[in-house]
Amino acid sequence: MCACSQEIRTIKIKGSDTEVNLVTELAESFHKIDKSCYLSISGGGSGLGIASLLNGQADIATSSRELNSEETELFKKRGIELDTFVFAEDAIAFVVSPSLSLDSLTTETLARILDGTLTDWASLTGEKQPINIYGRQSNSGTYDFVKDKLKIQFSRKAKEMNGNAQILEAIKADPSGIGYVGAGYVLNDRNGQSRDIKVLSVSQDKNSPAFSPLDSNAVFQHQYYFRRHLFQFIRKSSAEVAAPFIDFEKSTTGTGIIRKSGYYPVKIF
């Protein structure tokens, strides 16, 4: 039941662009049953969410990555305590144009493409085409996640797009491009535009099987390499105000929305 009192409680949620639409839908449904809480939601990247928590400008930060060591330091230095809530599983999809004659990659080849060592598709597809990388900016958790998983620095020539959507748009228009987006975005493209995009399968080396992020079992059984938890970090001082919303996310309605958005709700034990 509604745990918000008569006065309007404000909850500020900021962070990951991967999660912002999902959180918006959750907030929309939540507001239908509980009108006494005022939620304001912003995207801008996981870095922005966490910084906002540090700066006292947010109650909940949605993040597609863990806190790094500097951030943990800063939280400790400023005396801010956090609760962590894993509310979904996500997989990163590496997307190319359907016209590219390539269906899967090893993580090693992927690393060489994204750090700029490999600059042409010729050695992989036989067709001489320059590789155009469409990625995110440094404030994106997706950017950090891919960078850390592959242990590389991105090529300086990589284009830094403002969001997942721009990356998909760019790939649709560029037959020699490669980009990375949350799998949820590809699954969720409501006009069935996954036909304009090809999702590559990834294998950890030449001899292992390749898995696709669109395969939910592969994600849950941790077989797909690029899968990650989606986090919400909540300031302990705001925990009481935020509790009704968090409870809603855990409810059947909430997890239903998460699933519909193309993410895998974390199974509650």
Residues forming contacts to another protein in the complex (CB under 8 A) are 8, 10, 12, 17, 20-22, 24-25, 27-28, 30-31, 35, 37-45, 47-48, 50-52, 54-57, 70-71, 74, 132, 137-139, 156-166, 168-170, 173-177, 185, 188-191, 193, 261
15 in Cβ contact with 49 (< 8 Å)? yes
* Shortest Å distance, C-beta 112 to another protein: 18
Q: Which is nearer to another protein, 35 or 259 (CB)?
A: 35
Nearest approach, Cβ of residue 145 and another protein (Å) = 15
Minimum Å gap between C-beta 221 and another protein is 27
> Measured from the CB atom, is 90 or 211 closer to another protein?
90
Nearer to another protein, 97 or 204 (CB): 97
Compare residues 71 and 104 and give the one whose CB is closer to another protein: 71
Q: Shortest Cβ distance from residue 74 to another protein (Å)?
A: 6
